[in-house]
């Protein structure tokens, strides 16, 4: 959690100044994309079957998350990087062991926020409404339109809704 220090001014002004400063320290657009589409955040965790995933934030812009997975007889380390190409367009790269990630680093997904109508959280996947999310696969280097993608950290419903709203209402707002 980020701590905000405010100079002593009138009580009402102090609260307003602190609330405004808190809003300024919100997630970057890349961090919001990482959370909304993949569940990635600092200290994110997910238990999926017998596999346990943990994540550490490396940078905010581009948003980089280093992940460690452990399961019976298997461990691995990967890095997701979310880069803004514009206010509405994002690219996600995945780096990891070559036996797991094609060539050791590969395109994972591309996102066109202005083509995404909604992002609905599920337990292990998010559902994407619209035609703004394409993803590659282990054997498919071409980005293919998909409407569901796996998440890698447990999603908090309130935070997910807030960040999806931020992405659609502020970052890549559609003209009225």
Query: How many distinct structural domains can be found in the chain?
Result: 1
Look at residue 66 and tell me if it is in a domain.
yes
Cα–Cα distance for residue pair 106/94, rounded to 1 Å: 6
Residue 155 resides in a domain? yes
Question: Do the domain assignments include residue 11?
Answer: no
Q: How confident is the model at residue 20 (pLDDT cuts 50, 70, 90)?
A: very low
Predicted local confidence at residue 127, as pLDDT: 96
Task: Note down the domain range covering 103.
Answer: 28-171
Q: What is the mean pLDDT of residues 43-71?
A: 95
Q: Tell me, yes or no, whether 100 lies in a domain.
A: yes
Q: What pTM value is reported for the model?
A: 0.82
Tell me whether residue 21 is in a domain: no
Q: Is residue 80, in this structure, part of any structural domain at all? A: yes
Whether residue 15 is contained in a domain is answered as no
87 domain-assigned:
yes
Q: What are phi and psi of 126, to 5 degrees?
A: -115, 145
């Amino acid at each position: 959690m980020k701590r905000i220090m405010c100079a002593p001014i009138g009580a009402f002004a102090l609260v307003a100044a602190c609330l405004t400063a808190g809003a300024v320290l919100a997630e970057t657009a890349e961090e919001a994309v990482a959370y909304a589409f993949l569940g990635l955040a600092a200290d994110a965790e997910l238990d999926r079957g017998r596999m346990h995933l943990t994540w550490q934030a490396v940078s905010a812009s581009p948003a980089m998350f280093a992940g460690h997975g452990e399961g019976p007889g298997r461990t691995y380390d990967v890095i997701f990087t979310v880069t803004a190409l514009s206010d509405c367009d994002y690219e996600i790269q995945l780096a990891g062991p070559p036996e797991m990630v094609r060539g050791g680093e590969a395109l994972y997904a591309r996102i066109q926020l202005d083509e995404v109508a909604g992002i609905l959280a599920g337990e292990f996947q998010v559902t994407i409404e619209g035609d703004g999310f394409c993803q590659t696969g282990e054997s498919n280097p071409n980005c293919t339109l998909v409407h569901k993608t796996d998440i890698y950290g447990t999603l908090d419903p309130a935070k997910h809704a807030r960040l999806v709203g931020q992405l659609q209402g502020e970052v890549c707002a559609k003209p009225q």
